[in-house]
Each structure stands twice: as structure tokens, then as C-alpha cells.
Amino acid sequence: MLRYLITRTGLSLLVLWGALTIVFLAIRIVPGDPAAMMIGPGGTEEDIDALRTRLGLAESLPVQYGRYLSDVVRMDFGDSLWLNRPVASEVFSRVAATARLAAAAAVIGIAVSFPLGIAAALKRGTVLDGLISIVSLLGQSVPSFWLGIMLILVFARQWQLLPSAGSSGWSHLVLPAITLAMPLIGVLTRLIRSGLLDVLHEDYVRTARAKGLSPRAVLANHAMRNMLIPVVTVVGLQLGNLLGGAVIVETVFGWPGVGRLLVDAINQRDYPLVQVAILFITASFIFINLLVDLSYGMLDPRIRIQ
Amino acid sequence: MTPANRTSPATLSDLVRNYTTGTISRRTLVQGLAALGVTGSLAGAIAARPELVAAQATPSSTEPAGELTLSLASSLEGIDPHGAFAVEGSTSIVITMYLDTLIARDPETGDLIPALATSWEATSDTSWQFTLREGVTFHDGTAFTSADVKASLERVLDLEGPLAPLWVLVDTVEAPDPLTVVINTTEPMGTVPVNATLLFIGPAAGINEDGFWNNPVGIGPFRFVSWVPDSELIVEANPDYWGGSPQLERVVVRDIPEPAARITALETGEIDFTYNIAPDQLPALEGNQDLAIDTTPSYTYYFNWFNGQREPYTDARVRQAMAYALDVDTMVTELMAGVGQRAQAPIPTTVFGFAPQTPYDYDPERAMALLEEAGYPDGFETTVQWNPGSGPQDRALIQTMISYWDAIGVRVESLEKERGLWIDDLVALNWDMNFQTNTVRTGDADFTLRRLYTTEANRNGYSNPELDEVLVASAASTDQAEREQFFAEACRIIWDEAVGIFPIDLIANYVYQDGIEGFVPVPSQVPEFDTVRVPAED
């Protein structure tokens, strides 16, 4: 187990280094220049060159890269060119806001899709199954910017039940979390339905029924557990996506999350901020995947690591 | 729901005045009186005959009360008045709350008026002397002196941000005594007073410290309380402001990037104030009885430059043909209803130095004749670069212009660029035509004409010694009437030579909850809030 963890950590560091390097190069290859952005359309080329030198951007790429890597190893992430504050604390507070949103969306997604998926599998081929299919298909295909604005129009403007945008209390969390949960509900419901249908035809389920277990016990103890692995995998991947990809929902609802920060930083060509935001998102993704892999062992003793 | 305002401890005279003017109900009056210890029959008597007390009540406007929540039209990207975002609209609004300038513009007349400086004069061709207001303190209590002005101006120059070009002629800044500042320039510089309206003063002791601008000490009508980027910024009344305490106790500046959410928040009362509403949304808000809308011609305008170094735009006839090809009146009526009007010069009507020019009336035949004269009987192929989000209806305007140009045989490809790339190409003159909005931040033609159209600036490839001469002379002059004449001449050359097409000036709109008083719509789109009052709550 320990050896497995060490190997995994080593691999994770390798992935992080790869992500760092790609980001470092990609943002510098993209046309556009932080110095020109800081000076604005009114600047002359001389002004821009002077600022580039001051920011250390006039040096060659290998020199910048070497300095950057050594800073990262020492956990020195530098200051944002744009916000002029330490990058790490800025990114951290934004990751926290996004994590709150992603967690709420995951809870809603799981709480809604399990009952729907189970009901659809047990009532396969009925009208109910058809309705649930439609709902999950809609959840997957409705664009979040449209859904978000519709929720604002209905719940904030029409019924005035919830605030339209902002991030100060629980009431602000509801609409963005629902918007973010919809695609998750779509995917999970279909996955749970098909997973259960597969498992319900397995021999061990027939055996469990034959030995006289109640339908509920068959479902809970035998069928469910065995279809959880793909579900956990997808939830893990989706959570990772939510962390980095909530930018549309964050923009529609004015949520100060890391997705918006990253997009703003890219628009400002704020190299340090972009690099650290991606580092954080990558690290979260890796960590969630590690948890998912470890959970396999708990769910299925056959793949428990020796 | 954010409470739009909050009842604050009031004086007897405030209460009675609000009651007699109908701002508060009888119940609120009696509650207020009780809070002041006035109960029973005395309170009843005051409620019945308020005029007896009101006659004694002096109009008191010193007690700040209530909270105003506003949403910016675009995200607030920085609050440093000297740095990269100094001239962004959102940044300007916020720094005007917690900081102050040497000279201000009267919001109603646009005239230059004393602020932190009580007087200023050109003491020689190349030096300006400011006398500072005595007894002004920063929000932490330290006295405001000439050292703060010197440090702030030097910081603008050091940071090389968008304000720095305004002060390139500055040689030295002297602070001979605590209330005198002398700005020495290398050449005569007539724009020192107007540029001073954009020079925000911070305390010399802090402004260059790390982290100062995360929690700045200001000097304006409101004190800085907090800022969470992409979320909200809060300021509170500074009762000791030299110009008198603001009327509002607190202003909350919220960031709502999505226009639909911003308008919903206004309609539901979550926010009290916003501005720059898009033309397609404006009619819906005009029908809303609970909202007031103020509009005024702004300092912002659209322009379409030609790259004067590239064929065929080296020929004035081609540039003029492109102007005659556009039916600007139709563009304004169909696309810009309520938010734009036909431009009459290379700078908006509101700007000092504006002089109306002969319009390029829609005349495709004349346009084609000019093209033929210039040697392009079959038109030509070209491109226009632009950055989406520059102004209202930018995409629709580009598409419309392209189809008008197509009608005279000029086939234009639209190059929509992301902002970073667009700026790079703009500065490098890597474009055929460039379409964008621009705001004359200082309200003075120097900011636009002299800064952008000289051969030395080389911002659009156009070079004309005659124009250079006029613009250089305008910069040197300190006589306002003379400057106005120079700018009129510059307007004429730029317009007649069609250095660019100047189709539309934008109209600013400000929308707020009905009942909010004391707001003055300004052309700069940087409204001030120190005179704004919110109605007391029932």
C-alpha cells in the first residue's frame, strides 16, 4: 500500500511538472504581451520594451523557465502582474470559492441522479423510464449559460425567491449549484440506470434473490455496490472538471471562482497567475483521481492492492 | 435582498424634515422620536403639527445615511490609480470615491474647479504652480502636503501605465513648501490643468509600499473598506471630507458580469444603480415605473482608422470614398437607438476643442467615383481588425459597415481579435483598418488629437506636417481660447483628410431606483456619489 502511494505520488509530480511546462510554453507562444496589456492601447513600443525588461520577460525562454522551476520548487509562486498581490493566496481563495460551488453541485447531482437512475432501471421500458431518459438527456445537453439565465429570470426576476448574482450567503449558492449539477445529473442518471441493468442480470443477483433476500437488500447490498465503480470514476472526473471548467457558471452568476480568475489572467497575459491557477487545478484533479483509485479497493476487494 | 438603505440614528430636525417632505411615514417618525427619547403626547403633538418643529430645523446634510449598492458595467480589474487600469471605466469610478485630484470637473458644467489644489497658474512657459488646500487629511489622519502630490506624479511616471503619456513632458516636480507644488516641464505644456483631473493623490508614505493598494489609505469623500476581486468593493462615508461629508453612509460596488443578471438585480432591488445598459435592454427598463433613467452625450465615440502607410489608404480619395459609402443615419436609428448619435467631428461634441465639420452624407455614387479617380474602379480587398466588447453593438456595426462597403465594390474581411492580440497588432500598425471605441478621459481634445495623430505618435500611419504643426502648437499654448482654435483646425484636417471615419458618438445612460436623489449624469461615465441620497426607509 505504502509503496503504491509512493509510486503514485511520484507519478503525480511528473504529471504536475508536465502541466507546468506545457502551460509555461503555451502562454508564451500565444500572441499578446503582458507588458502591452499593462500599458494599454496608448503605449509606445519603447514603453512596452522597458516594462518587459522590468518584469523579467526580456530574457530568453530557457532562463525564464529555469528561474521559474526553481521558484516553484521553493514554493515561491511570485506576485501577480495584474493584481500585484501574491499569486498563491489569490488562487487559494478562489479555489475555495469554486470548491464550495463544486461540492454543492456534486451533492445535488448525486442526490438527484441515484433515485432517478434506480427508478429508471427498476421500471425499465415504462413511461417513467422514458420521462427520466428525457430529463437526463436535457440535463446533459442544455448549455449552462442558457440554463443559468433562465433560472435567474424565473427564480430571481419572476418569483423573487433567490438573489440573481453574487456570493455572500447560502441563498447565492442555490442557482449556480443547480446549473452546475444539471450535466452531472444527466450523465450519472444514465450511468446508474445502465449499470444497474447490467448487474441485475448477473448470476450473483439471481443467487441472492434465490436465497430469499428482500428486493431491497438485493439492490442495496449486492447490485448497487457492484455498479458503483464506474459511477465513482465519473463523479471523480466530473468534480475535476467542475473545478476548472465552472467558468461559464461563475460568470453568469458573478461567482468569484478560480475559473473566472484563470480566464481573466489569460486575458491579462498574467503569466505567474495563469501558471499557478493551472498548477492548483491540476493538483486537485490528480488528488481527486487518487481518491477515486483508492476507493476502488474499498468497493471491490478483488482489486485491492496487495 | 440587500437592504437598499438603513435607518440611521437621526436628529430631531432630520426626522421632522423627512416627515414633512413625505420621505418617511408617521410610524417611522414616531419610532424615530422614541429613539430620541421623545414619546407620548409630545411625540403625538410633533406628528400632528410638524411645521412647528420644522420651522426650527436647520437643513442638515452632514449626517450620512443609507447604503447604495451599485453594479459596474464591466469587472473591476484594479484599484490602483496610477497603474495599468488607471483609465479603465470601472477603476475610475472606484478611485474617484476614495481618492481625490488636485483639480476636478464640475459635474454639471464640465468646468475645471479647485479640489485638493485651491489655485494653479503657469508661472513661466515651462512651469506650473499649484497652491494646495490647507487642513486636508488622509483617512488615517496624516496631513496632506505637497510631498504626496510629488510622490503620486512620480509614481505615474515610474509605472509607465496608461497615464504616463499624459506627463511625458514633465521634467521635475518640486515641493518647495508643504502647500506648494511646482511642475517643471521640458517644453511648454498647456494641458497640465486638465491632466491634473486624472492625477489621483495617495499618501507619499505608502503608495510605493508592497501591499498598500490591497488596502489603500485614501483622501476622498469615501474611505476604502475592502475589495474582493470579482465579488465586491465597499467604501464608507468620510465625514471629514474637505468638500463636506457625503450623504451616503456606505457604497457597495458589486461585480455582476452577466448583463441579464445585472438588469434583473436592478429590477428586483438587489442593486440600486447601474449604467451603460445595452440598447436592446433599454426600452424594457424605460417602461419600468420604479426606475429612473438619465442620459447624456458622453466622451466616448466609435472610430474606424485607416492605416495610412498601406495601399490604398495612402490616397485620401480612397479614405473619403469609404466614408461616403456609409449610411450613418440609418446605422444610428436601426442599431444605436438611445445609445448613440451621429458624430460631427473626430471628437465628441462634449469634449473641449470640439468643432463641427461638414458631414460625409451617404452617397455611394460619389464613393465609387472617388475610387475610380484613385485608380480602383473595381474596388479592392481589405480587412478590418476589432476587439469584441469595445462598445455597444460593435459586431452589428462592423457587419453593417462591411455590407455598405461591399456595395461600392470594396470587399472587407472582418478580423475579430482577442484583446491581447489586438493591442499588439494595433501598436505595431499591423492592420488595414481598425475599428474601436475611444474615451476622451480628460474631456480635452489634447488627450485624443495631440496624443494620437502626430507623425511622432505614429498610431495610424498618417503623417501630415501641417497637422503636426497645429498639434504641437496646441500643446504649448496655455491660453484656452487659442487652444480651442488649434483643436478646431486639427478637427478640420483630420475630418477632411478622412484619417479615419468617425461615425457615432455614444450616449451614456445611468439607471437607478426611483427616489434616489442628487445624482448628476456626467459625460465622462465616471459618476460621483458624494451628493447622492437614498430615500429613508419606511
Tell me the mean pLDDT in the region A110-138: 93
* A301/chain B closest Cα distance in angstroms: 47
Q: What is the pLDDT of residue B6?
A: 32
Residue A124 at interface with chain B, using a CB cutoff of 8 Å: no
Nearest to B162 among A39, A153, A256 (CB): A39
Q: What is the pLDDT of residue A305?
A: 55
Percent of chain A with pLDDT over 70: 97
User: Ranked by mean pLDDT, which of A258-262, A287-291, B5-9, B91-95 comes out on top?
Assistant: B91-95
Tell me the mean pLDDT in the region A159-163: 89
Q: What is the pLDDT of residue B47?
A: 58
Asked if A165 lies within 8 A of B261 by C-beta distance, the reply is yes
- Answer whether residue B12 shows pLDDT above 60: no
Q: B36, B13 in Cβ contact below 8 A?
A: no
Mean pLDDT of chain A: 87
Q: Which of A39-48, A120-129, B508-517 has the lowest mean pLDDT?
A: A39-48
Tell me the mean pLDDT in the region B33-60: 52
Three cell numbers written together for B167: 506627463
- Answer whether residue B8 shows pLDDT above 50: no
CA-to-CA dists, residue A93 to A88, A154, B230, B308, B433, angstroms: 9, 31, 12, 49, 43
Which residue in A94, A34, A88 sits closest to A64, CA to CA? A34
Nearest to B261 among A47, A152, A260 (CB): A152
pLDDT-based confidence at B15, cuts 50/70/90?
A: low
Q: What is the pLDDT of residue B59?
A: 40
Q: What is the pLDDT of residue A42?
A: 62
Distance CA B535, CA B231 (A): 26
Q: What is the pLDDT of residue B54?
A: 43
Q: What is the pLDDT of residue B239?
A: 94
Q: B271, B70 in Cβ contact below 8 A?
A: yes
Domains defined for chain B, CATH in brackets: 297-507 (3.10.105.10)
pLDDT digits (tens, 9 = 90+) for B412-435: 999 999 888 898 899 889 999 999
Three cell numbers written together for A231: 459511477
Q: What is the pLDDT of residue B5?
A: 34
Q: What is the pLDDT of residue B52?
A: 47
Residue A173 at interface with chain B, using a CB cutoff of 8 Å: no
Nearest chain A residue to B166 by CA distance is A42
Which of B2, B427, B450, B458 to mutate to test binding with chain A, by most A CBs within 10 Å of its CB?
Answer: B427
What residues in A contact B262, CB-CB < 8 Å? 165
* A114/chain B closest Cα distance in angstroms: 32
pLDDT-based confidence at B82, cuts 50/70/90?
A: very high
B203-210 contacts, C-beta under 8 A, 24 or more apart:
B203/B138, B203/B140, B203/B142, B203/B144, B203/B148, B203/B151, B204/B145, B204/B147, B204/B148, B204/B150, B204/B151, B204/B152, B205/B142, B207/B82, B207/B151, B207/B152, B207/B155, B208/B151, B208/B155
pLDDT digits (tens, 9 = 90+) for B512-524: 999 999 999 999 9
Predicted ipTM?
A: 0.80
Mean pLDDT of chain B: 88
- Answer whether residue B50 shows pLDDT above 60: no
Tell me the mean pLDDT in the region A65-82: 86
Tell me the mean pLDDT in the region B435-464: 91
Nearest to B230 among A41, A153, A256 (CB): A256
Asked if B165 lies within 8 A of A268 by C-beta distance, the reply is no
* B126/chain A closest Cα distance in angstroms: 24
Asked if A42 lies within 8 A of B165 by C-beta distance, the reply is yes
What residues in B contact A38, CB-CB < 8 Å? 83-84, 161
Distance CA B303, CA A243 (A): 41
Q: What is the pLDDT of residue B3?
A: 36
Nearest to B424 among A31, A160, A257 (CB): A31
User: Ranked by mean pLDDT, which of A84-88, A241-245, A272-276, B488-492 comes out on top?
Assistant: B488-492
Q: What is the pLDDT of residue A301?
A: 78
Q: What is the pLDDT of residue B58?
A: 38
Helical H segments across B197-343, by residue range = 259-268, 282-286, 316-324, 328-335
Tell me the mean pLDDT in the region A273-280: 89
Q: A150, A138 in Cβ contact below 8 A?
A: no
Tell me the mean pLDDT in the region B458-463: 92
Nearest chain A residue to B213 by CA distance is A84
Percent of chain B with pLDDT over 90: 69
Tell me the mean pLDDT in the region B164-191: 93
Residue A271 at interface with chain B, using a CB cutoff of 8 Å: no
What residues in B contact A47, CB-CB < 8 Å? 160, 164-165
* B308/chain A closest Cα distance in angstroms: 18
Q: What is the pLDDT of residue B83?
A: 82
Higher pLDDT, B35 or B270: B270
Which of B79, B264, B285, B458 to mutate to test binding with chain A, by most A CBs within 10 Å of its CB?
Answer: B264
Tell me the mean pLDDT in the region B22-47: 58
Asked if B451 lies within 8 A of A51 by C-beta distance, the reply is no
- Answer whether residue B389 shows pLDDT above 90: no
Running DSSP on this structure, what letter comes out for residue B357?
Answer: -
Q: What is the pLDDT of residue B4?
A: 35
- Answer whether residue B13 shows pLDDT above 80: no
Higher pLDDT, B78 or B221: B221
Distance CA A128, CA A119 (A): 8
Asked if A30 lies within 8 A of B420 by C-beta distance, the reply is yes
Asked if A252 lies within 8 A of B256 by C-beta distance, the reply is no
Q: What is the pLDDT of residue B465?
A: 96
pLDDT digits (tens, 9 = 90+) for A201-242: 888 888 988 888 888 888 888 888 888 888 898 888 888 888
Q: Is A7 exposed, middle or buried (0-12, 13-18, 19+ CB in 10 A)?
A: exposed
A window 64-123, beta carbon within 8 A of B: 82-85, 90, 94
SS3 for chain A is: CHHHHHHHHHHHHHHHHHHHHHHHHHHHHCCCCHHHHHHCCCCCHHHHHHHHHHCCCCCCHHHHHHHHHHHHHCCCCCECCCCCCEHHHHHHHHHHHHHHHHHHHHHHHHHHHHHHHHHHHHCCCCHHHHHHHHHHHHHHHCCHHHHHHHHHHHHHHHCCCCCCCCCCCHHHHHHHHHHHHHHHHHHHHHHHHHHHHHHHCCHHHHHHHHCCCCHHHHHHHHHHHHHHHHHHHHHHHHHHHHHHHCHHHHHHCCCCCHHHHHHHHHHCCCHHHHHHHHHHHHHHHHHHHHHHHHHHHHHCHHHCCC
Q: What is the pLDDT of residue B36?
A: 57
Q: What is the pLDDT of residue B22?
A: 55
Tell me the mean pLDDT in the region B84-94: 89
Nearest to A149 among B260, B427, B457 (CB): B260
Asked if A83 lies within 8 A of B232 by C-beta distance, the reply is no
pLDDT-based confidence at B220, cuts 50/70/90?
A: very high
Phi-psi category of residue B378: left, alpha or beta, with phi > 0 → left and psi -120 to 50 → alpha: alpha
- Answer whether residue B478 shows pLDDT above 70: yes
Tell me the mean pLDDT in the region B220-240: 94
Which of A38, A48, A158, A168 to mutate to test binding with chain B, by most B CBs within 10 Å of its CB?
Answer: A38
pLDDT-based confidence at B199, cuts 50/70/90?
A: very high
- Answer whether residue B361 shows pLDDT above 70: yes
Residue A30 at interface with chain B, using a CB cutoff of 8 Å: yes
pLDDT-based confidence at B369, cuts 50/70/90?
A: very high
Spans of all domains in chain A = 2-73, 91-299
Nearest to B258 among A30, A50, A251 (CB): A251
pLDDT digits (tens, 9 = 90+) for A17-28: 999 899 999 888
Q: Which of A94-103, A118-127, B9-18 has the lowest mean pLDDT?
A: B9-18
User: Ranked by mean pLDDT, which of A281-295, B103-117, B280-294, B307-321 comes out on top?
Assistant: B307-321
Q: Is A237 exposed, middle or buried (0-12, 13-18, 19+ CB in 10 A)?
A: middle
- Report pTM: 0.81
- Answer whether residue B51 shows pLDDT above 60: no
What residues in A contact B229, CB-CB < 8 Å? 83, 90, 256, 261
* A15/chain B closest Cα distance in angstroms: 29
Classify domain A91-299 by CATH number. 1.10.3720.10
Q: What is the pLDDT of residue B273?
A: 97
Higher pLDDT, A86 or B38: A86
Nearest chain B residue to A41 by CA distance is B423
